[in-house]
Amino acid sequence: MNLKFFFLSLTALLSFSLCVQAQDSIPTKSTLSFKLGGCYMPQSTFIQNTSEKKDPSASPEWQLGFMIGITTGVVFSKKVSLDLGFGSSKQGVNYSTSTEFYAPITLHYLKIPITLNYRPLMKYNIPFEFSGGFQYSGLLKADIYMRDGYYLPNNGDKQWFNESTFDVVGAVGTNFEILQHIYVNLKCRADYSLTDPINRDYTFNGGGNTIMHWKSDRSPSHNITVGFLMGIEYHFGKK
């Protein structure tokens, strides 16, 4: 379902980018160009859950992580472009105390963002850029770090979490040319999952009893990442 939402978003953003560009001019084969690059982003990450705010035994804290990946895209004009990325993200949440329900979590995702980029001040040659779009995040690996005295079978198994999330993405910064066809991309970037990363219904059998790691009244959770993205791109063809 999350993948279906992603492809619908891809179609919508492509259509919208063409509509935005059409306000200036209709892109032609001679004005279109393609780009390819890489990026790295140190990030602060969190798994937001409203029920934890009311639970005195919960003490969630932000966790440091990173994302590294490649970017591709289509440049319609000096103002408008569309990006498709593929990144590996390490993220999660820490807890200052550990109980049978709360322990530090680290998640590894394959992230596929699709974003529309707009530079409204290019008529003044100011490469200030806004980016917004959607993202599919597929879970690659998961770890729950239980402290001594607490037992969690299949620790590190992805079954405690949903296989994917569907996210919104936003960024603001600059994308400027340093050499012919070579651009530097510097942005403050954030994403937020619209769907729950936690498989709240998963249970296991312990001594003949059905046991849950997650509390039965746990509210839906949301992944959050905030970071500073640094990238370099090569733009093929004409500007």
DSSP of 82-143: EEEEEEEEEEEEEESS--SS---EEEEEEEEEEEEEE-TTGGGT--EEEEEEEEEEEEEEEE
Backbone region of residue 65 per phi and psi (left: phi > 0; alpha: psi in -120 to 50; beta: other values):
beta
Look at 100 and 161; give whichever has higher pLDDT: 161
pLDDT tens for 125-151 read 999 999 999 999 999 999 888 776 666
Phi-psi region of 208 (alpha: psi -120 to 50; beta: other; left: phi over 0): left
Confidence category of residue 156, pLDDT binned at 50, 70, 90: low
How remote is the C-alpha of 10 from its chain's centroid?
15
61-94 per-position pLDDT tens digit: 999 999 999 999 999 988 999 999 999 999 999 9
CATH topology of domain 2-235: Porin (2.40.160)
* Token pair listed for 34: 């393609």
Whole-structure pTM value = 0.86
